[in-house]
């Protein structure tokens, strides 16, 4: 049996390309962006894990003699260069998000919003101290900590597609009237699985005394638009009617989501009580107090621009299952950017500047439209060097984003109580 010959130079070159792709996406057009995202996304968020694995492997290969000779030395140089790139990625992920997030909030909420928070009634109970180390895998145990079997509920008639996890602290009283956040998962409208998305955000909020509801919804191609948004609306209606039994405040329900979930969260927030998305429960209250869409799609109708034609093709074939040319009204009605309104709730829109799946220009255009029409704040943070789905791993960027979202939602919650009673 032939022994496989080591190829240290090829292996090191692949490591270098992977690191470079994490530093900056190597493609932003066409279907190749999907592959670029899947390889670059973990590298851009958890470079320390890649470095540790690469270092251990390099030590093993060095003992084997892979770095001897001219080709071996070239391989070692490529490996060292990839480590340097990973160090840059790590440094940027720690240092760049905070000022951008804080700047986006101050621009819309005012320079003294943090001081205002200190004097207003916010969360109903004191926050529990949580570990400050941003360990990438620490969030994987968050659900076990905050969700037990009695807190897995069915909000609709469609079986597993209508299940939701209720995240709450065990010491939260059942009459606690805690503010509520509904989390809508992403997945290109074809996955929609509630686990393990937004764990850093939900873990952070629940530790502060909030309740979070993370839901599934019907997805394509088995189901067809607008089933997705109908389920989100049905979940909101269920939360308004039932969350008080778990210690939540039905009078303060906010919504968030990433990618397809960002689209659905924004659309739900901008179409409260719209009967076309509430068949059979038209009278239910589906309004929200605030919305935080993250790296979402806000335009389902434009065909010009990078990736737009491929996106419309996806919708036509798998999601809407109707031609845009003959059913343009369906695509327009599904576009949050077409639903902006003067009485929109406060928004905080987050997007990565290096998003290779959904160009950051979509977020900019959506925020511009919101600010031109809405009377409520429309905060925006464009995170430097961030890829799509930057908030899923327990990375420094994810945790800083979670803290900023918590400040925004706490400000909305606090100020909303000024007008009560």
What are the Cα distances from residue 118, in Å, to 30, 107, 309?
48, 19, 48
The per-residue pLDDT for 121 is 55
pTM: 0.92
Q: How confident is the model at residue 214 (pLDDT cuts 50, 70, 90)?
A: very high
pLDDT score, position 4? 55
Residue 153's Cβ-side half-sphere holds a number of Cα atoms within 13 Å equal to 17
Region 317-325: what's the mean pLDDT? Answer: 96
N-to-C CA span, the chain: 82
Contact call for residues 350 and 381 (beta carbons, < 8 A): yes
More confident residue, 296 or 310: 296
Q: How far is it, in rounded angstroms, from Cα 56 to Cα 54?
A: 6
Instruction: Look at residue 174 and tell me whether its pLDDT is greater than 50.
Output: yes
At 37-63, the pLDDT tens digits run 888 888 999 999 889 999 998 898 888
Lookup result for tokens 């008080």: 244
Residue 120's pLDDT is 58
pLDDT at 216: 96
Closest CA to 303 of 314, 293, 287, 295: 314
- Cβ(9)–Cβ(357) below 8 Å: no
Q: What is the pLDDT of residue 8?
A: 79
DSSP 260-319: HHHHHHHHHHHSTT-GGG-TT-TTS----S-EEEES----SS---STTHHHHHHHIIIII
Positive or negative: CA dihedral 302, 307, 310, 314: negative
> What is the C-alpha to C-alpha distance for residues 1 and 42, in angstroms, rounded to an integer?
36
Reported as a single tens digit per residue, the pLDDT across 6-42 is 677 888 899 999 999 999 998 777 667 888 888 888 8
Torsion of CA 412, 414, 420, 421, to 10 degrees: 180
The confidence band for 133, taking pLDDT boundaries of 50, 70 and 90, is very low
Three-state DSSP at 155 gives: coil
* Sign of the C-alpha dihedral computed for residues 167, 171, 174 and 175 taken in this order: negative
What residues contact residue 339 under an 8 Å CB cut-off, 6+ apart? 267, 270, 271
Q: Which residues contact 192 (CB under 8 A, 6 or more apart)?
A: 161, 185, 186, 216, 217, 218, 219, 228, 260, 261
3-state secondary structure of 32: helix
Q: What's the mean pLDDT in 185-193?
A: 92
pLDDT in tens, 215-254: 999 999 999 999 999 999 999 999 999 999 999 999 999 9
- Cα(147)–Cα(152) distance, integer angstroms: 7
Residue 157: what pLDDT? Answer: 96
Distance CA 43, CA 65 (A): 27
Give residue 346's pLDDT. Answer: 98
Report the mean per-residue pLDDT for the chain. 90
Number of neighbours of residue 325 by Cβ within 10 angstroms? 7
Q: Catalogue the active-site residues.
A: 259, 355, 388
At residue 119 the predicted structure's pLDDT band, cuts being 50, 70 and 90, is: low
Distances (CA, A) of 191 to 216, 222, 329: 9, 11, 25
Span 100-126, mean pLDDT? Answer: 78
pLDDT, tens digit (0-9, with 9 covering 90-100), for 341-395:
999 999 999 999 999 999 999 999 999 999 999 999 999 999 999 999 999 988 9
Half-sphere exposure of 142 (CA within 13 A, CB side): 31
Q: What is the pLDDT of residue 26?
A: 86
| Comparison of pLDDT for 158 and 26, the residue scoring more | 158
Rounded average pLDDT over 80-107: 96
pLDDT band at 416 (very low <50, low <70, confident <90, very high): confident
């Amino acid at each position: 049996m032939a022994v496989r010959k080591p190829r240290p130079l090829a292996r090191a070159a692949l490591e270098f390309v992977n690191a470079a792709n994490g530093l900056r996406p190597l493609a932003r057009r066409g279907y190749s962006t999907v592959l670029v995202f899947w390889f670059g996304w973990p590298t851009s968020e958890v470079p320390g894990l890649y470095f540790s694995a690469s270092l251990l492997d390099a030590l093993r290969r060095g003992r084997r003699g892979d770095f001897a000779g001219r080709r071996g030395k070239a391989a070692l140089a490529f490996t060292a260069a990839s480590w340097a790139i990973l160090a840059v990625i790590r440094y940027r992920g720690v240092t760049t998000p905070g000022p951008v997030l804080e700047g986006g909030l101050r621009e819309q909420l005012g320079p003294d919003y943090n001081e205002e928070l200190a004097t207003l009634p916010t969360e109903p109970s004191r926050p529990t101290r949580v570990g400050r180390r941003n360990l990438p895998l620490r969030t994987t145990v968050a659900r076990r900590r905050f969700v037990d079997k009695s807190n897995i509920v069915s909000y609709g008639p469609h079986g597993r597609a209508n299940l939701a996890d209720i995240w709450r602290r065990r010491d939260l009283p059942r009459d606690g009237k805690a503010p509520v956040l509904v989390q809508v998962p992403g997945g290109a409208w074809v996955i929609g699985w509630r686990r393990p998305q937004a764990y850093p955000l939900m873990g952070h909020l629940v530790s502060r005394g909030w309740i979070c509801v993370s839901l599934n919804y019907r997805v394509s191609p088995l189901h067809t638009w607008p089933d997705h948004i109908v389920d989100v609306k049905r979940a909101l209606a269920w939360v308004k009617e039932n969350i008080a039994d778990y210690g939540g405040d039905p009078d303060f329900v906010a919504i968030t989501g990433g990618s397809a979930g960002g689209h659905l969260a924004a659309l739900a927030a901008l179409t409260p009580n719209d009967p076309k998305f509430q068949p059979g429960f038209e009278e239910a209250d589906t309004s929200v107090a605030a919305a935080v869409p993250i790296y979402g799609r806000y335009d389902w109708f434009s065909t010009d621009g990078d990736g737009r034609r491929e996106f419309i093709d996806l919708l036509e074939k798998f999601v809407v299952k109707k031609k845009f040319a003959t059913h343009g009204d369906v695509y327009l009605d599904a576009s949050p950017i077409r639903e902006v309104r003067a009485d929109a709730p406060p928004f905080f829109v987050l997007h990565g500047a290096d998003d290779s799946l959904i160009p950051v220009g979509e977020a900019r255009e959506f925020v511009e439209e919101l600010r031109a029409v809405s009377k409520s704040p429309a905060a925006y943070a464009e995170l430097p060097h961030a890829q799509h789905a930057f908030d899923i791993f327990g990375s420094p960027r994810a945790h800083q984003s979670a803290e900023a979202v918590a400040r925004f939602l706490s400000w909305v919650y606090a100020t909303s109580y000024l007008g009560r009673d």
